[in-house]
Amino acid sequence: MADSSNDWGVSTVAGNLFDGIAPFDFDDGSGSSYSVGYPDVIEPASGAASVPVLEYSAGVTAAVASANVVVFGFPFETINQQSARDEIMQRVLRSLAPSYTGINPNPPSGGSTGGSDGDDDSGCAVGASGVAPVLIGLFALLAWRRRR
């Protein structure tokens, strides 16, 4: 583990959650979000069920995942390539909230009605059984970031 990888290029670890996503980079100050000054090198805790799922170009771990949580060593929103950002979020949501149905590429005009049962064709519904893992993951991420 390290406070900074000094690396803004990321690729997937074969055979895991993000396998098959093309290598991408995140904002080093030249992108459209904000500069990530110190991308963290992280690794699964000893004996943990989590595994590395992303790595920096130097081969050190950039993200880990388990059945209930995904942790990035950099701010997710700073991924420069929208296609990578979209695909990563889709896979995280499908992993943590199995009832997530995906994004409807042709949403009805006027946007979603906000119905939680998915009957509005928004394609973004998550049933109540799928919300708990998402909330647990969010709280775990916030607790981890706060300890820093």
User: Model confidence over 45-76: pLDDT tens digits?
Assistant: 888 899 999 999 888 999 999 989 999 999 99
Instruction: Give the total residue count for the chain.
Output: 148
User: Model confidence over 18-39: pLDDT tens digits?
Assistant: 999 999 999 988 888 898 988 9
* Structure confidence at residue 7 (pLDDT): 78
Q: Domain coordinates of the chain in residue numbers?
A: 9-96
* Structure confidence at residue 118 (pLDDT): 46
Which has the higher per-residue pLDDT, 148 or 57? Answer: 57
Tell me what the mean pLDDT of segment 80-101 comes to.
Answer: 91
* Structure confidence at residue 122 (pLDDT): 46
Which has the higher per-residue pLDDT, 82 or 140? Answer: 82
